Chain A
């Protein structure tokens, strides 16, 4: 079979395997209204997308600045403000901990941003829907917060336990040392007693003979 025939054979197999051509499914997930050239979250989105490779102070400062700007813009909208407040809090946390951040922190930040973007882009979304989306994101955020608290408690307990076990170990070492000291002291006394006894015996013998 020549290369052309082989390629045709493979491509026909692949067409069967992957099913219908993807033309019909293209752009399916594009959010409505995304055709807009500019939208208020444009810069924030660029920053969120660049939270990549490494999380630098520069990127995180730009992120926090954007949140501050948007907070001024949306100060009269409670739902938007709640989203921005979560994003700000996560941003500050990630800035502080960087690569040591909780593994879910960036994931949740992106999820919160995506939900905010969805709300901003959707013109027809009603307040109830907005609140449902917000509640879901708050749940994720709270669960992250709880996890962080639990981790701290566990860390503290572990520290305490390791301190206690260190203390116990120290005590054990001290008591072993004392025991050894005691034993060697006893041995020395016993030796001295024997020596004195022997000396007495020798003295007695000497007295008797003289």
Chain B
């Protein structure tokens, strides 16, 4: 749940990037960080990695300015995607306000997207959070692979697999090139802030 400091007029919201391992969650955060690092003095924190795999989490704090007189502080996290790190994933999901689910568009990753989404649903349920009610954005990442002849899942299939029940906003993206990375986070922050405001009022 968002942290509201009425004295300082601050609202802190937590958005977590979830999805299968090596799907591009950290790449999303790195792109966002590179885009804004010269303007915001904050550092992106990456904790414990094994090669290029996130073993613990990445953390990027953002202050996006005042909305309705409140300074909005956003904390972006990623979780490790590998199946075996579920305990860490669960800890990072605690008190989450919004989710970006980064799915891997490559054909070979289809089942891992499904496993990961199911796991997210279960982990949220443990915190009494309904996946159908929390602000959630789907991002179909690695679309650029198609240009290199690597088979990717058709958008229709990804929508059917992941979004037929959720019926949420989805973006195709290529985090490596920055395509739709900012659009995704903008939408995620926007729907999360609205949801927090509705809950509080």
> Are A and B a genuine interacting pair, yes or no?
yes
Chain A contacts to B: CB under 8 angstroms: 1, 3, 6-7, 9-11, 13-19, 22, 25-30, 34-39, 42, 45-46, 49-50, 52-54, 103-107, 110
Question: Inside 8 A of B183's CB, which chain A residues have their CB?
Answer: 22
**Within the complex, what minimum Cβ distance (angstroms) separates B21 from chain A?**
5
Dominant SS among interface residues on chain B: mixed
For residue A30, which residue of chain B has the nearest CB?
Answer: B177
Given contacts A28-B178, A107-B51, contact A53 B149 (CB under 8 A): no
**Within the complex, what minimum Cβ distance (angstroms) separates B110 from chain A?**
12
Top 6 closest A-B pairs, CB basis? A106-B51, A107-B51, A52-B22, A14-B186, A13-B65, A10-B190
The reply to whether B62 and A17 form a contact with Cβ atoms under 8 Å apart is yes
Q: How far is the CA of A13 from the CA of B72 in the complex (A)?
A: 10
Chain B contacts to A: CB under 8 angstroms: 20-22, 35-36, 39, 49-53, 62, 64-68, 72, 81-83, 106, 108-109, 112, 144-145, 147-151, 176-183, 185-186, 189-190, 193-194, 197-198
The reply to whether A34 and B148 form a contact with Cβ atoms under 8 Å apart is yes
Number of A-B contacts (CB under 8 A): 114
The reply to whether B64 and A53 form a contact with Cβ atoms under 8 Å apart is no
Question: Inside 8 A of A25's CB, which chain B residues have their CB?
Answer: 178
Q: Please list 14 pairs of residues, one from A and one from B, whose beta carbons are closer than 8 Å in the complex, sorted by A's number.
A: A6-B194, A6-B197, A10-B193, A14-B64, A19-B36, A22-B182, A30-B144, A37-B149, A38-B149, A45-B150, A46-B151, A52-B109, A53-B81, A106-B51
Given contacts A17-B62, A29-B177, A35-B147, contact A46 B36 (CB under 8 A): no
Given contacts A9-B67, A13-B65, A106-B51, contact A39 B148 (CB under 8 A): yes
**Within the complex, what minimum Cβ distance (angstroms) separates A50 from chain B?**
5
Question: Inside 8 A of A103's CB, which chain B residues have their CB?
Answer: 49-51
- Known pairs A17-B65, A110-B52. 12 more at Cβ < 8 A? A6-B194, A10-B193, A11-B186, A16-B65, A18-B182, A22-B181, A27-B179, A30-B147, A37-B149, A50-B109, A53-B22, A107-B52
Q: How far is the CA of A49 from the CA of B22 in the complex (A)?
A: 8
**Within the complex, what minimum Cβ distance (angstroms) separates B140 from chain A?**
15
The CB with the most chain A CB atoms within 10 A, among B83, B144, B186, is that of: B186
Given contacts A11-B190, A26-B178, contact A53 B20 (CB under 8 A): yes
The reply to whether B148 and A45 form a contact with Cβ atoms under 8 Å apart is yes
The reply to whether B177 and A28 form a contact with Cβ atoms under 8 Å apart is yes
**Within the complex, what minimum Cβ distance (angstroms) separates A70 from chain B?**
15
The reply to whether B179 and A26 form a contact with Cβ atoms under 8 Å apart is yes
For residue A3, which residue of chain B has the nearest CB?
Answer: B194
The reply to whether B150 and A49 form a contact with Cβ atoms under 8 Å apart is yes
**Within the complex, what minimum Cβ distance (angstroms) separates B25 from chain A?**
13
Question: Inside 8 A of A7's CB, which chain B residues have their CB?
Answer: 190, 194
Q: How far is the CA of A9 from the CA of B147 in the complex (A)?
A: 37
For residue A121, which residue of chain B has the nearest CB?
Answer: B148
For residue A38, which residue of chain B has the nearest CB?
Answer: B149
Question: Inside 8 A of B185's CB, which chain A residues have their CB?
Answer: 18
Question: CB within 8 A of A22: which of B144, B179, B194, B197?
Answer: B179
